[in-house]
Structure 1
């Protein structure tokens, strides 16, 4: 790894020191940013986009922030990737010995990199250029829904309302989600009206590294994001879920349907970055294919396997199980395990259109009007994923396969880590199947299609219990996390206990359980 574990632990300190300023007085802090960097509205959009997935740190540390915030959390908990390293002598996030300097990073990125920049745009643009405010708000929801899905309650509804006493107040996750819908609906309406008046206009094209200022694409993304959040509520707030999902699909511009709609942070002459997973896999040598990916991709003989991973030295695709004892890093960095097929110039994807089809398929089996049958939407989701990955010629045979099932996992270095297949679900759709049978098919294929967004995959696993993910072998949680149920959230940051104790205590009360990895979030009710 590029820096030591001790340095990793220090990362949280540098971020949360700035967060203390924002938590105390957002206006003062953002004015300070403005004076120091002479930031404009466009620059704040750039700042927000660079912090949804963290690439905005100084070059020596940026990939470490991504690593501890995402790779050593959602990437591992979703089953996508396995670590090769025995960080902190094995007492780390992957074995449920949660590291404060790691699990606080998502909170810091949200409240240092995203929220203050959004507030500056509100102050500058909301009345004068509402279309800029609308785009900023969509970015904010994309970033902060990931944050609440890690922790639960957050200081959100009253952020920036001018009342310093309310800034650190935590809101329930229900209130946060309802605010998301209000904000997305407002942004969609603003952009739809703007596009009707100026159909060929682009907004902040120079500064927007997602869509280059293309308004219809931003509307489709906002609708797709609203659909994602609506489906998230399916087990806790079914009426709200149905209303918002149907609204997203039926809106004038609708949701994503083609590769041109994908939301991803582009590489341009003005924005150059190495994909953090490339650095973590190739330069740090700290991550490989996960054992669950090994099971599903190999079991299904999935042609996307070579697009996602690099074959091991024997030509096979082989993963590492998460949450195991690793005494020697060289054991798992040998050529026996598959590196990630991610290049430095691979874009960081926020949302791809295949996901939108699978979300609609799930809505359809729940009886919602999703503009198609569950089977047609499910199959189109697979076709879209195959197309995005350049293997479209294999889609028909894959969709028709009613024989192949997930494979057993074998660890060639330590047989104690091997495991039987967790599921017998096939790919081919069956209308005769039960609701759970259909749901497992949909979520399994969505899980395969949204790789490498491990956090979203982990969130959907928590919501649905699909796909079947191998539990950790080593559980160092001291009984706070059930091995079979698996980890449900991350604790609130230590920095919040130091600087906003009243707020975080309120957050714990709203959480409805102890502040540990075993407590379920509001929407986690299946």
Structure 2
């Protein structure tokens, strides 16, 4: 990203981002406490034409979950990079940063959490998810079905935000008000009730209006197919249920079984994929990888795909010529280098019009496999669901060419282990330690090993969604993510345990000191230091592998 460290400051001085100027909705705020007024915004009368007043809010929310609009000096792409590429994507081991940036490595890549980067997701969420959602909320009695879709999007977007930071303002949110921070426990409970409400509204609409698609012009994921949205909501509910299993197993089981019983994703036709046109909207990874040259294959991902002889390696990544021959080369998080040294490593195979993945059916099978492993009613046994997850992942269109990995039968029986990492530029960054599970279910010896197999295959299938992969790594300790090569956290983040969260935006402690101090000091909220080493509410597994 050009001049990334000199980018816009977040908080009261924040400029309106691209979604506002593109849609001219007047729906963005400078931060969650204050409201900006856009003199160019369309009027309420104009918003009434062709469902614009509510339908366009759905489009805005979708395009801002993964900022993808190419306008105003690529603000959206820059935001995406700070929200994901320089956070969950590298912390999960999916990708590696091929740029040292202007800070000479004193940034997230080395655990010296850079404030501007860490603030991006928080700010985008309250401007571009929550404020348009609130518009839908105020019109919920007029257009309940559109509100229901917005409710599902809100839960999808905000579960990622709370899983980055911990407690955030959520309950009783309204623009231009001082909203206290809500505990993750309460947020998750509200997520479940909001999803249930949305599912009920959409089912009622489907029953009363068979075949109707009032959002066909605005919904860039499903084209207004509400039956697909119900499946998405249930699949998301299942994801959230497993997230809390180590802190509230009873609720986790109840919500997971409800979701599965009501109907979740079963094949790739159900996948939630955001369509972009490659021009006005793009897959941000294309610009990040090919215009900025800032992201490459991650070292951990390289080791798993090579060790398992995974055909997706060829689909997702390009070979590089580093040491005289073409090979797949990943970058280890925390590697220190000069200039363009690592930009020659393996790039991502992504185009400007590659759809952006919200959630896929493969993940849902792996969620069900874990549920079955725990003895819950998951609609099948753990082994079958696990193998169905792999087969579904292999049949999903992937990468720039939307190719499929093909038949998974040989892969499912594979007994090889992940490979160690070899850095062809700097041997001191090589790491010979690897994960200790194969793909083959039959050679697992107990619960923990079976769970690791499930999570490892889910971690692979989630690519390029590093944010969700990072969350699952924090929850379970799986797979084995190579530790950071350089830790500049000053002892705040343990290299063995790795990054637990993002710090809050620095402006919060200055502009809203009472709310901020309550969030940090209250044991029912964050209850710990505002740094990358403080664990989240649901991060309670005590026997995580590979952390000793």
Normalised by the size of structure 1, how large is the TM-score? 0.93
Offset at 1:512?
Answer: 1.4
**Residue 215 of structure 1 is aligned with which of 219, 222, 226?**
226
Q: 1:229 corresponds to which residue?
A: 240
CA distance in 1, matches of 2:527, 2:168: 14
**Residue 479 of structure 1 is aligned with which of 465, 485, 491?**
491
Q: Is the 8 A contact 2:362 2:392 kept in 1?
A: yes
Counterpart check, 1:129 vs 2:143: yes
Residues 158-177 of structure 1 aligned to structure 2 (within 5 Å) = 158-160=172-174, 167-177=178-188
Residues 369-408 of structure 1 aligned to structure 2 (within 5 Å) = 369-389=377-397, 390-402=403-415, 404-408=416-420
Cα 1:491/1:34, change in 2 over 3 Å = farther
Counterpart check, 1:194 vs 2:209: no
Counterpart check, 1:315 vs 2:326: yes
Q: 1:255 corresponds to which residue?
A: 264
Cα 1:392/1:277, change in 2 over 3 Å = closer
**Residue 360 of structure 1 is aligned with which of 364, 368, 373?**
368
Q: 1:469 corresponds to which residue?
A: 481
Q: Is the 8 A contact 2:32 2:127 kept in 1?
A: no
Larger mean Cα displacement after TM superposition, 14-23 or 455-464: 14-23
SS in 2 for 1:174: helix
Q: 1:8 corresponds to which residue?
A: 7
Q: Is the 8 A contact 2:277 2:353 kept in 1?
A: no
**Residue 423 of structure 1 is aligned with which of 420, 428, 435?**
435
Q: 1:52 corresponds to which residue?
A: 65
Coordinate RMSD, CA, aligned: 2.2
Q: 1:441 corresponds to which residue?
A: 453
CA distance in 2, matches of 1:386, 1:504: 45
Alignment deviations for residues 129-172 of structure 1 (CA, whole Å, 9 cap, x no partner): 21111000000111000000000001101113x9x76x420110
Aligned length: 513
Q: 1:143 corresponds to which residue?
A: 157
CA distance in 1, matches of 2:395, 2:13: 42
Offset at 1:22?
Answer: 5.1
SS in 2 for 1:147: helix
Any gaps of 5 or more consecutive residues in structure 2? 18-27, 398-402, 542-548
CA distance in 2, matches of 1:304, 1:494: 40
CA distance in 2, matches of 1:60, 1:290: 25
CA distance in 2, matches of 1:13, 1:383: 49
Q: 1:521 corresponds to which residue?
A: 536
Alignment deviations for residues 461-498 of structure 1 (CA, whole Å, 9 cap, x no partner): 00000000011111111111001110100011112223
CA distance in 1, matches of 2:313, 2:443: 28
CA distance in 2, matches of 1:371, 1:16: 49
CA distance in 2, matches of 1:100, 1:377: 41
SS in 2 for 1:75: helix
Cα 1:393/1:64, change in 2 over 3 Å = closer
CA distance in 2, matches of 1:16, 1:242: 44
CA distance in 2, matches of 1:520, 1:451: 24
Bigger share in helix:
1
Q: 1:95 corresponds to which residue?
A: 110
